[in-house]
Structure 1
Amino acid sequence: MNEDNTVSDDMKRQAAMFYNSTEREQVKEDRTSSCFFRQRRYVVALLAFFGFFNVYALRVNLSIAVVAMSEPIETKLDNGTVVFIPEFDWSTQTKGLILSSFFYGYLFTQLPGGWLAAKIGGNRLFAVGIGATSLLTLLTPPLAYTSTALLITVRVVEGLFEGVTYPCIHAVWSRWAPADERARLATLAFSGSYAGTVVSMPVCSLLAKYTGWPGIFYVFGICGLVWTTIWWLVVKESPEKDPHITPAELKYIQDSRGTQAVDSSKVRHPWKAILTSAPVWAIVMAHFSENWGVYTLLTFLPTFMKDVFKFETSQTGWVAAIPYLAMGIMLQVAGQLSDWLLRKSIMTRTNIRKLFNCGAFLSQTIFMVAAAYASSVVGCIVFLTIAVGLGGFAWSGFGVNHLDVAPPHASVLMGLSNTLATLPGILSPPLAGAIVQDNTAEQWRIVFFITSAIYLVGAIVYGMFASGEKQHWVLDADSDASFDTDGASVTTARGYDNKAMDNNSEM
């Protein structure tokens, strides 16, 4: 009898070994598959790219539209006289208020958005944020015709809805991104924002010319609603709830990500530990530093080129787009390189994050100063393009670091860091305006020096306190219960019960 039991046990062990080896081969096959759309995490990343494309297109559209709205147009009076009168006769101060109103709403929903995304799921809130902004964009022309106050109000509300987008996407990646693919997936999504900036500005100019300024809001509003519909139908809260994911990809994500509750409502955030964590504040400081440089140049680069190098106004928009095109490209390079170094075990995750972030900041410090002293327009543009482009490496540092230190709380951490990183958009423009009184190169150099100094401080703080490891205070949700998963799967802290992993499932 004992011999029979022994034989039976040996057969079970051999069967288990065979199953595990077969499973590993399936995972390997899935990871190296050339069919992009079979790998659902890349479908999520691609749709997230277009989501952030819409986020920035909806954000910057007014900066072009406001020019067309306030340009003098030919108007025939009742007595037959033809005069040129602006459709909206706004003062410079009123224009500034209209353009900045978005950030006042954007500032206040970062942290609440991160908290809510962890509770109800980042995928749904991400769609709501962009969808609501798109709908409000469609309403912008009639509201603008009604009153300037309503135009400002609708922009504030748009900012409130868009404020949830960055925290939400980290809630998505906390469930969808394997540990060694976080940088490439996150940077692919984030690069959509720079693509949206580069593409939407000239497109808005063309729409204003050929359709009138209302066409800017109608076209981008409709595009945003179309994207929202696609995202809502395709992207699930987690891979366990995606009925189209292959068993091998699901297993790969689960093994790499670690066991984690699917029910996001059970996540509890250790607020005291978060707010007293040195690695968290290293991320916050790095995010603040990078945004200071980005917002300063995004706001003042056209003016700087006009003041110092006497560029024509029609040329400055295209020139200002070049650094952000470089940023979008370098985001892809940095994300791939970061994950390759991690996958090959060439460096630890902590050292990779520090190298990419601090290396980028130190280089940006140098090239910002070089741009301030450039004697030619070509040299200045080259130095600024390198400085802004290297920010892509920084995003492969601090930008994905939230997912390293606290995966279940990544959306909240992004909400915290992006709240404080929004302040440069409010503080930098008036500070630069106060410094540059006479439009001289010497005054502009002070603005560049301040930006370089902030980059340097960010590099020092991040280099000293950043970490790429999961922190000891991280709390995972209790996950003993079973959940409805749209017929796909369930993951619990004790393991996983995945319907897609049945022997009859197809790869």
Structure 2
Amino acid sequence: MDAQKNQKKRPALGIEPRERSQEYEATWCFWRRRRLIVALLAFFGFFNVYALRVNLSVAVVAMTERVETKLDNGTVVLIPEFDWSPKTKGLVLSSFFYGYLITQLPGGWLAAKIGGNRMFAIGIGATSLLTLFTPPLAHTSTSLLIAVRVVEGLFEGVTYPCIHAVWSRWAPAGERARLATFAFSGSYAGTVVSMPLCSLLAHYTGWPGIFYVFGIMGLVWTTIWWLVVKESPEKDPLISPSELKYIQDSRGTQAIEGSKIRHPWRAILTSGPVWAIVMAHFSENWGFYTLLTFLPTFMQDVFKFKTSQTGWVSAVPYLAMAIVLQVAGHLADWLLQKGVLSRTNIRKLFNCGAFLAQTIFMIAASYATSVAGCLVCLTIAVGLGGFAWSGFSVNHLDIAPPHASVLMGLSNTIATLPGIISPPLAGSIVTGKTAEEWRVVFFISSAIYLLGAIIYGIFCSGEKQPWVVEAETEPSFDTDGASVTTARGYDNKAMDHSEM
């Protein structure tokens, strides 16, 4: 009996140091955890996504600015390099979104088929390459500039759906919120950094330098991502057996070959939880795009801000969003791991709570009588969106992991519409540049936030939907005999005995 007791104790004694070592590595040696490397590179990927998106917004100021030009007769006059009308300038700036809208669903479908990691790299890499050609094309023809921005939008449109295809394979169930929100926060960090950096580049190198610097940065990132990030942890030769097993066990070992995935479109399009996500994504983007487009103008009209002062004001909400995203993602996963709330209730609490607070602070901002008060209210309203993103933006992975990329494509397609609808609607309302007119714009955003909270609160689910199983395939075996792909996923038996 004593010998049997000793035999039972040995494995426990042997496992304990490894568990402690793994916990230590998670804290200090993040580079040994491959999923964290994926998250870090995804962060810089979205950093590039938004840097490449907003670069023209800054460059266009320098492109249309009046500069001293010496004519052939020796006369010095002030004329812009590109003498665009307001209509032409608006078309140039909005052309990106027309391409961006088209490829959301196709991008999600392709990501599920050929791998989210590849499509993510292709999307950013192609956009970066086209960015390098922007200056010569702009000098050649305004039509060519508009065309290249549309094509850039086509390629960038695949990025958000693609990253969910990556997380459906790489993210353990208990870490979805923190990994996804950390990656998404790169978007806002990219905006905060790139806007002032673009201004510096325009001043010291001329506006073409903006496109050359960010284009090269994007291509460097693309190369690193392509070499390092694999489609799934099963295909990563550098992942440890213990991390592989942890990911497989935690996510439900779902990793079906992309070519075998069949998306149940009827079930998807008639699913209440799916449309709850779509409405939440639409609501969050409506308020966000309204402020993204009109915050400087609002501060100028209502508080008589000088144009030179609006740049830093525009960056503050993005900074708040980037910070809150980190806190919200970790908090959501912590509540889930501790069993404080169910996954469904966590998603509802974070999303609906954020929307209700945003409703209040948007209205408060419209009635603020001081710059400081207004800026605080708007920063809180935008920043609280980080909690909403820890709700709806990872919800696709909760309800249908194999189809998360196409679900993100669906929700992001509809969530792109506010970027097209909101600016002209606000422009038609604010004709006299009065505080009362701006109040109407803010009330519309608040109403949409409130509607999003109601619909999401009623129809949201954090559980895997029954129609997901119907989309999976029959069991099939890999040729090496070491692993098996089943209808429920990928079970790598060869790794079980190596390390826990």
Q: Partner residue of 1:497?
A: 492
Q: Partner residue of 2:77?
A: 83
Structure 2 residue 22 is matched with structure 1 residue 30: yes
User: Structure 1 residues 258 and 88 mapped into 2: Cα distance closer, same or farther (>3 Å)?
Assistant: same
Give the 3-state SS of the residue equivalent to 1:474 in structure 2: helix
Give the 3-state SS of the residue equivalent to 1:85 in structure 2: strand
Q: Partner residue of 1:164?
A: 158
- Of residues 64-73 and 159-168 in structure 1, the stretch that sits farther from structure 2 once superposed is 64-73
In structure 1, distance between residues paired with 2:77 and 2:479 = 66
Q: How many residues are aligned here? A: 495
Residues 313-333 of structure 1 show CA distances to partners (whole Å, capped at 9, x for unaligned) of: 011011111011000000000
Normalising by structure 2, report the TM-score.
0.95
Q: Partner residue of 1:464?
A: 458
Aligned mate of 2:417, from 420, 423, 429: 423
Give the 3-state SS of the residue equivalent to 1:221 in structure 2: helix
- The answer (yes or no) to whether the contact 1:240–1:498 under 8 Å persists in 2 is no
User: Structure 1 residues 270 and 150 mapped into 2: Cα distance closer, same or farther (>3 Å)?
Assistant: same
Structure 2 letter corresponding to 1:473: W
- Of residues 14-23 and 214-223 in structure 1, the stretch that sits farther from structure 2 once superposed is 14-23
Residues 460-480 of structure 1 show CA distances to partners (whole Å, capped at 9, x for unaligned) of: 000000000000110353263
In structure 2, distance between residues paired with 1:132 and 1:494 = 32
Structure 2 residue 229 is matched with structure 1 residue 235: yes
- The answer (yes or no) to whether the contact 1:60–1:201 under 8 Å persists in 2 is yes
- The answer (yes or no) to whether the contact 1:114–1:414 under 8 Å persists in 2 is yes
Residues 100-125 of structure 1 show CA distances to partners (whole Å, capped at 9, x for unaligned) of: 00000000100111111001110000
- The answer (yes or no) to whether the contact 1:261–1:479 under 8 Å persists in 2 is no
User: Structure 1 residues 72 and 494 mapped into 2: Cα distance closer, same or farther (>3 Å)?
Assistant: closer
Structure 2 letter corresponding to 1:155: R
> 1:261 Cα shift?
3.2
> 1:489 Cα shift?
7.1
- The answer (yes or no) to whether the contact 1:54–1:130 under 8 Å persists in 2 is yes
User: Structure 1 residues 29 and 266 mapped into 2: Cα distance closer, same or farther (>3 Å)?
Assistant: farther
Question: Which runs of no fewer than 5 residues in structure 1 stay unpaired?
Answer: 1-9
Structure 2 residue 306 is matched with structure 1 residue 312: yes
Output the aligned Cα RMSD. 2.4
Structure 2 residue 406 is matched with structure 1 residue 412: yes
- The answer (yes or no) to whether the contact 2:357–2:381 under 8 Å persists in 1 is yes
Residues 44-66 of structure 1 show CA distances to partners (whole Å, capped at 9, x for unaligned) of: 00000000000000000000011
Structure 1 letter corresponding to 2:492: D
In structure 2, distance between residues paired with 1:285 and 1:20 = 49
Structure 2 residue 291 is matched with structure 1 residue 324: no
In structure 2, distance between residues paired with 1:405 and 1:17 = 40
Structure 2 letter corresponding to 1:478: T
> 1:21 Cα shift?
8.9
- The answer (yes or no) to whether the contact 1:327–1:388 under 8 Å persists in 2 is yes
Map residues 426-437 of structure 1 onto 2, 5 A cutoff: 426-437=420-431
Question: Which runs of no fewer than 5 residues in structure 2 stay unpaired?
Answer: none
Structure 2 letter corresponding to 1:158: E
- The answer (yes or no) to whether the contact 2:475–2:484 under 8 Å persists in 1 is no
Map residues 201-240 of structure 1 onto 2, 5 A cutoff: 201-240=195-234
Q: Partner residue of 1:477?
A: 472
In structure 1, distance between residues paired with 2:10 and 2:238 = 26
Q: Partner residue of 1:7?
A: none
Give the 3-state SS of the residue equivalent to 1:111 in structure 2: helix
Residues 368-423 of structure 1 show CA distances to partners (whole Å, capped at 9, x for unaligned) of: 00000001000000000000000000000001000000000000000000000000
Aligned mate of 2:295, from 293, 301, 304: 301
Residues 169-227 of structure 1 show CA distances to partners (whole Å, capped at 9, x for unaligned) of: 00000000000100000000000000011110000000000000000000000000000
User: Structure 1 residues 15 and 147 mapped into 2: Cα distance closer, same or farther (>3 Å)?
Assistant: farther
Give the 3-state SS of the residue equivalent to 2:468 in structure 1: coil
Q: Partner residue of 2:140?
A: 146
Q: Partner residue of 1:3?
A: none
> 1:498 Cα shift?
5.6
> 1:31 Cα shift?
4.5
In structure 1, distance between residues paired with 2:490 and 2:460 = 31
In structure 2, distance between residues paired with 1:29 and 1:289 = 44
Map residues 193-208 of structure 1 onto 2, 5 A cutoff: 193-208=187-202
> 1:482 Cα shift?
3.9
> 1:82 Cα shift?
1.1
In structure 2, distance between residues paired with 1:344 and 1:479 = 35
- The answer (yes or no) to whether the contact 1:309–1:377 under 8 Å persists in 2 is yes
In structure 2, distance between residues paired with 1:195 and 1:441 = 31
In structure 2, distance between residues paired with 1:73 and 1:223 = 29
**Percent identity over paired residues:** 76
Normalising by structure 1, report the TM-score.
0.93
Structure 1 letter corresponding to 2:462: G
Residues 122-141 of structure 1 show CA distances to partners (whole Å, capped at 9, x for unaligned) of: 00000000000000000000
- Of residues 279-288 and 27-36 in structure 1, the stretch that sits farther from structure 2 once superposed is 27-36
Q: Partner residue of 2:66?
A: 72
In structure 1, distance between residues paired with 2:484 and 2:386 = 36
- The answer (yes or no) to whether the contact 1:26–1:248 under 8 Å persists in 2 is no
User: Structure 1 residues 263 and 118 mapped into 2: Cα distance closer, same or farther (>3 Å)?
Assistant: same
